[in-house]
Structure 1
């Protein structure tokens, strides 16, 4: 497992190997081209073809493909619904209706000045699920999106939920506290925020090394895959890129997970250098009564792409089971 040297020199198993030390310069705030071209719909609360207006006026972009049992995807940081394209296409071909949205401030959704917290993320998801009238849906969250799924259940219940799946998720709690001594120190996440402010473009590129375990001998990661991560990260608004770091690192999902009573699949890579297995998936699975933990030996944080065939098969088996 990867180690990171904390500011006091102690060597720990933590997140984002070496990323905190990335070279920095002054970054320009990215512009979301989709927002510049797409007018904001009237605040009716009803879905349009690919956008839904939230209660505070934020325009949420989403994809809704196919028919059949619904599968709802929540993406990771700092990406968009595009991160799920391999799973969405595969399940679409296998008779499922697949839905994914760009979280507020990320991807093609609009970039409000506030609302970058998990209560708001979960409420946005609930508004989308209700507007599409999804029932008996399976909710799948990757990385930061795993916290969104957990908080959705905690705030909105399971009346529309058949199953849940957590893939390389940030749950149950990443921050080191007296009740969570195995977590990462706040100084580590502060250094990530500093990197966002200094040179976000370079930081988004540097992160791809630990994200895909690109530094592991024999790792096969294409330059196109790394550039696709960078593309999605740069499309995310500056405020979301900055504030979401605090949201996913400082939010405690332990109580949320205990409220999940439906069947759950927890998938994680043993070589996850972003969210180490021992402080995430293993604990997540223990907090959910009907959870099944599946560990991909040597798997990175980027299971959606590097191990897409195996993940697709595991998700399909879980949906059909």
Structure 2
């Protein structure tokens, strides 16, 4: 996760980006949490976490509602045995992995499972001091909203949580119009609030 976020921060720095609205889905939500945990919110104006796997999806003594490590061991075994079939099974309908060709490094894909499943982002979330929208599908079979979205909203100072009844993990593709509209309404309302407070 540190490598992901340092690369993203280097991109922000190289382009001297300011007041960036960052949106992270699934593992990308963890990446944004770690980005802010390592580099702060100086270049960020708003955060949107969609189906994010924060704060932690692994079952531990501090996170008893998480998934057991055996789930992620099985994912790693599937990637090693037949990664094409593994991705078809895991995410084909949502992310287009049923298309011809498997892109990406096996080392990176294998390591990604460890990074997204075993990284605890609790301390990173505490450092988010920007308006943050947390969107989650109630029927998210990949990352339960009870053990992630509800827990992610607590440490974030200015969070707004919205749970969509019946929506799956890939809701940002399947229900793109609604997710985009709700994200835009949130961001615009925050800018209007900021402008009002400046008066």
TM-score above 0.5, yes or no: yes
Query: How far 1:227 moved relative to its partner?
Result: 7.5
* 1:257 equivalenced with 2:89 (yes/no): no
Q: Specify the alignment match of 1:25 in structure 2.
A: none
Structure 1 distance, partners of 2:102, 2:162, is: 32
Query: How far 1:307 moved relative to its partner?
Result: 0.6
Query: How far 1:178 moved relative to its partner?
Result: 1.2
Query: How far 1:179 moved relative to its partner?
Result: 1.1
- Aligned to 2:59, the other structure's residue is in SS state coil
Q: Specify the alignment match of 2:195 in structure 1.
A: none
- Aligned to 1:190, the other structure's residue is in SS state helix
Runs of 4 or more above 6 Å deviation: none
- Aligned to 2:168, the other structure's residue is in SS state coil
Q: Specify the alignment match of 1:273 in structure 2.
A: 141
Query: Can you list the C-alpha shifts for 1:9-68, whole angstroms capped at 9, x where unaligned?
Result: xxxxxxxxxxxxxxxxxxxxxxxxxxxxxxxxxxxxxxxxxxxxxxxxxxxxxxxxxxxx
Q: Is the 8 A contact 2:94 2:170 kept in 1?
A: no
The correspondence of residues 51-62 of structure 1 with structure 2, limited to 5 A, is none
- TM-score under structure 2 normalisation? 0.90
Task: Tell me which structure has the larger Cα radius of gyration.
Answer: 1
For residue 29 of structure 2, the aligned residue among 130, 143, 146 is 146
* 1:204 equivalenced with 2:87 (yes/no): yes
- Aligned to 1:287, the other structure's residue is in SS state coil
Q: Specify the alignment match of 1:312 in structure 2.
A: 180
- Aligned to 2:49, the other structure's residue is in SS state strand
| RMSD of Structure 2 on Structure 1 (CA) | 1.6
Q: Is the 8 A contact 2:56 2:148 kept in 1?
A: yes
Query: How far 1:234 moved relative to its partner?
Result: 2.0
Structure 2 distance, partners of 1:238, 1:167, is: 26
Query: How far 1:139 moved relative to its partner?
Result: 0.9
Q: Specify the alignment match of 1:132 in structure 2.
A: 15
C-alpha spacing 1:147/1:232, structure 2 compared with 1 (3 Å): farther
- Aligned to 2:146, the other structure's residue is in SS state helix
C-alpha spacing 1:159/1:184, structure 2 compared with 1 (3 Å): same
Structure 2 distance, partners of 1:287, 1:260, is: 8
Q: Specify the alignment match of 1:76 in structure 2.
A: none
- Aligned to 1:300, the other structure's residue is in SS state coil
Unpaired segments ≥5 residues, structure 2? 190-199
Q: Specify the alignment match of 1:194 in structure 2.
A: 77
Q: Is the 8 A contact 2:33 2:121 kept in 1?
A: yes
Query: How far 1:125 moved relative to its partner?
Result: 0.5
Q: Specify the alignment match of 2:106 in structure 1.
A: 238
For residue 158 of structure 1, the aligned residue among 26, 30, 41 is 41
Q: Is the 8 A contact 2:125 2:156 kept in 1?
A: yes
Unpaired segments ≥5 residues, structure 1? 1-117, 210-224
Query: How far 1:273 moved relative to its partner?
Result: 0.5
Q: Is the 8 A contact 1:205 1:227 kept in 2?
A: no
- Aligned to 1:282, the other structure's residue is in SS state helix
Q: Specify the alignment match of 1:102 in structure 2.
A: none
C-alpha spacing 1:313/1:239, structure 2 compared with 1 (3 Å): same
